[in-house]
A and B are shown apart, each in its own frame.
Chain A
Amino acid sequence: MADTYSNQFRTCETTGLKVYLPGERLFYVHAVTAVVALLTGGIMAILIALTRWPAVHLLPADLFYRFITAHGINMLVFWIVFFEMAGLIFASTAVLGSRLPAVWFGWLNYALMLVGALLTNYMIFTGQADVMFTSYPPLKANPNYYLGIILFAVGTLLACFHFMATLVVAKKEGYHKGSYPLFTFGILIAVILAIFTLLAGAATYIPTWLWAMGFIDSIDPSLYRLGFWGFGHSAQQINLAAMVSIWYLIGTLSVGAVPLNEKFSRAAFLLYLLGINVASVHHLLVDPGLSASFRIFNASYVIYAATIGSMIHAFSIPAAIEVAQRAKGYTNGLFEWLTKAPWSNPAFSGMALSIVIFGFGGGVTGVTQGVEQINIMSHNTLRIPGHFHVTVVGGTSLAFMALTYYALPLIMRRKLIGETWAKYQPWLFGIGISIFATGMSFAGILGVPRRHYDVTFSSAIFQVPFSATATTMLGLLGIGAIIAFIGLMIFCLIAALTAFFGERIEPKMEPHYPPYLKDGEVEVSAVAG
């Protein structure tokens, strides 16, 4: 059985990992599509940001709302999920040195996701779905908008099942034995969270789709919000688990960091699994219809279990890097290990910035705004996007970008084009997004609403006097957005140029037989097990 596949592996010269070539091609298409979605969302981002800067106020109202919809869905869903699906392929095939159970199945999930993403984008850009990412009923889009998202979600679900099937095949056919490596374990947690998320998404989008086609009379707005956030926020917990796994991975690839205590790190991932999805209720803290005790219990992540998880990672990852650096001889003083870290490696600096921005910016604002009383002061103000732009952009997206600097030479086997630019890219993007989110958060604290075209209310019946400070903060938002956008464009350019025109690195082909099948003893125990 193994012979059919043994010649389809190459050996990675940097890590020694055995890489299954058909899986590598799948990785390639998922990753490239992700970057296209990122570019689309990024162009929308700068246009929206320049509209919210009152001194510029770039777009007309209809395009502004349309582009927010496009920005939200391309960034939060298409960019991140396409990239994560590429990550699943890497975590299962390359890290475990396994084949994929069915390559055609991988292409099927990719095709579904691509068709879904294209259909949704077509509906948005032709003005048939100006409903925002949240599409709260009774706002109604063209049914094909919901259909596109459903197709995309089905594709994603198939990819999750394929990942799990690969884990089974890896064990059964002897490619892998024993516990999963920490990275694969973290991604497995992300996949479990993803399956829950996609079920919540199905329970939300399928009735809404039927309603948009006229088969159902009405959708209860409160129930929709519960279901939607079971999908929308849980999706961010997938990103969290994937991002933390990537931090560990880059720690290993860049300085050779070893998790100090596997039990500690894995328990932290389990806390995500147990405690994080209920936290979605913090979106409903100021909704009618939920009791105070229900809101408090759920919004606190079940007594902050997931926060404990994140704090453990915040300790373990830097500690692992410190230990690895000290082992290399950087032992002078308290911080030589940090000052002598490979800061010119964009993957390392991207990861470090991602940890700092996510932890201090995103984690702290998130836990704060999830408190019932503070939520009353922040709900639907700019403070909310101020929070999630440091989690999902400064945290997750930056971590994904950082990983791409390894993925390009190691998985796509292309020599990086624009290495000097790459050195500065994480800094530009990270600092830009931090300035941007600072402006957003403080404008929100002063009451400026999110998703709002004109905070001067020039065409409304009353003109609300927002303070001059709020206007300054919106200016800061604009400046930060420009810096981050430059960083994003550099990234897209490097990724696209390298992926298509970078010098090819020839694969080192070596036959790879399932290592645990050659050993007769293992074979017996595998059959017995």
Chain B
Amino acid sequence: MSVFIPERNWWAQPLGKDEKLWLKVCVLTAIILFLMMPLYNLMGHQNPSHEGYKVTPEKFNQLTEDFVAKNKVRDEVVKQRFGTTEVEMKIPVVHPGPGVKDIYLRARAWEFYPILELEEGREYRVHMSSMDYQHGFSLQPQNINFQILSGYDLVVTMTPRETGEFYVICNEYCALGHHTMIGKIIVK
């Protein structure tokens, strides 16, 4: 019994027929599961692995501002409710010009900046970093999620395949305004 001392030679007791069969099933399952991960990476056509680099928040902020200044096409006026008052804000919409592959998305409590306007079928390298807290990049309704940290540049290579408006929800708790943090990506 599990609360009493086992027989002296418990380690010499051979496995039964059923136990041996089950052990084989277990090991086989584990090997198949293990092989699936690299195989998905090499042969599957989804979810590219991302890259990570170190970057200071100041440097990343500068890269984002330069990127916005060069490629901004218009401002989008949005309204945010604070209690009973509504505040109007302008967020730049950025359409990367021809040849611009590296695009920047800055996360800060509690905004994603800027709004990205991308072209269907064109490959981009999306850089993301945080200026302050940890944030989450959650692209909806595709449900693709990454962790955004300050001090680190996370680069995802992606090619939009559908047109329309997509949203980026912050899904890492970033203090009280967390649930108001949301960004937009437009694909044309």
| Nearest CB of A to B134, in Å | 5
Q: Which one of A221, A257, A308, A451 contacts B26 once the chains associate, using CB atoms below 8 Å? A: A308
Q: Which one of B52, B78, B176 contacts A288 once the chains associate, using CB atoms below 8 Å? A: B52
Binds A, one of B62-70, B97-105, B142-150: B142-150
Q: Which residues of A contact B2 (CB under 8 A)?
A: 181-183, 245, 248-249, 251-252, 257-259
- Say yes or no: B37 contacts A263, CB within 8 Å: no
- Say yes or no: A288 contacts B53, CB within 8 Å: yes
- Say yes or no: B167 contacts A462, CB within 8 Å: yes
- Say yes or no: B179 contacts A261, CB within 8 Å: no
- Per-residue CB contact flags for chain B residues 14-43 toward chain A (1 = under 8 Å, else 0) read 011011001101110111011011101100
- Say yes or no: A181 contacts B6, CB within 8 Å: yes
Indicate whether A334 reaches chain B with its CB closer than 8 angstroms: no
Indicate whether A445 reaches chain B with its CB closer than 8 angstroms: yes
Q: Which residues of B contact A450 (CB under 8 A)?
A: 171
- Say yes or no: B30 contacts A379, CB within 8 Å: no
| Nearest CB of B to A384, in Å | 10
Q: Which residues of A contact B49 (CB under 8 A)?
A: 292, 372
Q: Which residues of B contact A262 (CB under 8 A)?
A: 6-7, 10-11, 13
Indicate whether A95 reaches chain B with its CB closer than 8 angstroms: yes
| Nearest CB of A to B45, in Å | 11
- Say yes or no: A461 contacts B182, CB within 8 Å: yes
| Nearest CB of A to B55, in Å | 10
Indicate whether B47 reaches chain A with its CB closer than 8 angstroms: yes
- Say yes or no: A287 contacts B8, CB within 8 Å: no
Q: Which residues of B contact A377 (CB under 8 A)?
A: 47, 143-145
Residues A380 and B138 in contact in the complex (CB < 8 Å), given A61-B179, A452-B179, A458-B81 = yes
- Say yes or no: A380 contacts B23, CB within 8 Å: no
- Per-residue CB contact flags for chain A residues 435-461 toward chain B (1 = under 8 Å, else 0) read 000000000011101111111011111
Indicate whether B50 reaches chain A with its CB closer than 8 angstroms: yes
Indicate whether A527 reaches chain B with its CB closer than 8 angstroms: no
Total B residues in contact with A, Cβ cutoff 8 Å? 81
Bound complex: CA A452 to CA B145 (Å): 15
Residues A453 and B178 in contact in the complex (CB < 8 Å), given A220-B151, A262-B10, A372-B49 = yes
| Nearest CB of A to B98, in Å | 28
- Say yes or no: A300 contacts B33, CB within 8 Å: yes
Q: Which residues of A contact B114 (CB under 8 A)?
A: none
Interface of B is mostly: mixed
Q: Which residues of A contact B29 (CB under 8 A)?
A: 304, 307-308, 311
Q: Which residues of A contact B10 (CB under 8 A)?
A: 179, 262-263
Indicate whether A329 reaches chain B with its CB closer than 8 angstroms: no
Bound complex: CA A449 to CA B16 (Å): 47
| Nearest CB of A to B23, in Å | 7
Q: Which residues of B contact A299 (CB under 8 A)?
A: 37
- Say yes or no: A447 contacts B149, CB within 8 Å: no
- Say yes or no: A263 contacts B46, CB within 8 Å: no
| Nearest CB of A to B1, in Å | 4
Bound complex: CA A276 to CA B184 (Å): 39
Q: List A residues 112-138 near B (Cβ within 8 Å).
A: 130, 132, 134, 136, 138
- Say yes or no: B26 contacts A288, CB within 8 Å: no
| Nearest CB of A to B102, in Å | 15
- Say yes or no: A139 contacts B144, CB within 8 Å: no
Bound complex: CA A495 to CA B50 (Å): 50
Residues A447 and B140 in contact in the complex (CB < 8 Å), given A308-B26, A459-B81, A460-B180 = yes
- Say yes or no: B151 contacts A17, CB within 8 Å: no
| Nearest CB of B to A111, in Å | 29
| Nearest CB of A to B162, in Å | 15
- Per-residue CB contact flags for chain A residues 253-268 toward chain B (1 = under 8 Å, else 0) read 1001111111110000
Q: Which residues of B contact A373 (CB under 8 A)?
A: 37, 40-41, 44, 46-47
- Per-residue CB contact flags for chain B residues 65-87 toward chain A (1 = under 8 Å, else 0) read 00000000000001111100000
Q: Which residues of A contact B8 (CB under 8 A)?
A: 178-179
| Nearest CB of B to A22, in Å | 20
Interface positions of A (Cβ within 8 A of B): 15, 17, 61-62, 65, 95, 130, 132, 134, 136, 138-139, 176-183, 220-222, 225, 245, 248-249, 251-253, 256-264, 284, 286-290, 292, 296, 299-300, 303-305, 307-308, 311-312, 315-316, 319, 367, 371-373, 376-381, 445-447, 449-455, 457-462, 464-467
A sample of 30 cross-chain residue pairs with beta-carbon separation below 8 angstroms, ordered by A number, consists of A65-B178, A178-B5, A181-B5, A181-B6, A221-B134, A222-B152, A248-B2, A252-B3, A258-B2, A259-B2, A259-B6, A284-B147, A286-B50, A287-B152, A304-B30, A305-B30, A307-B29, A312-B23, A371-B40, A372-B41, A376-B144, A377-B47, A379-B145, A447-B169, A449-B170, A452-B178, A459-B82, A462-B182, A464-B167, A466-B140
6 residue pairs, one from A and one from B, having the closest CB atoms: A288-B52, A449-B171, A304-B30, A288-B154, A262-B10, A289-B52
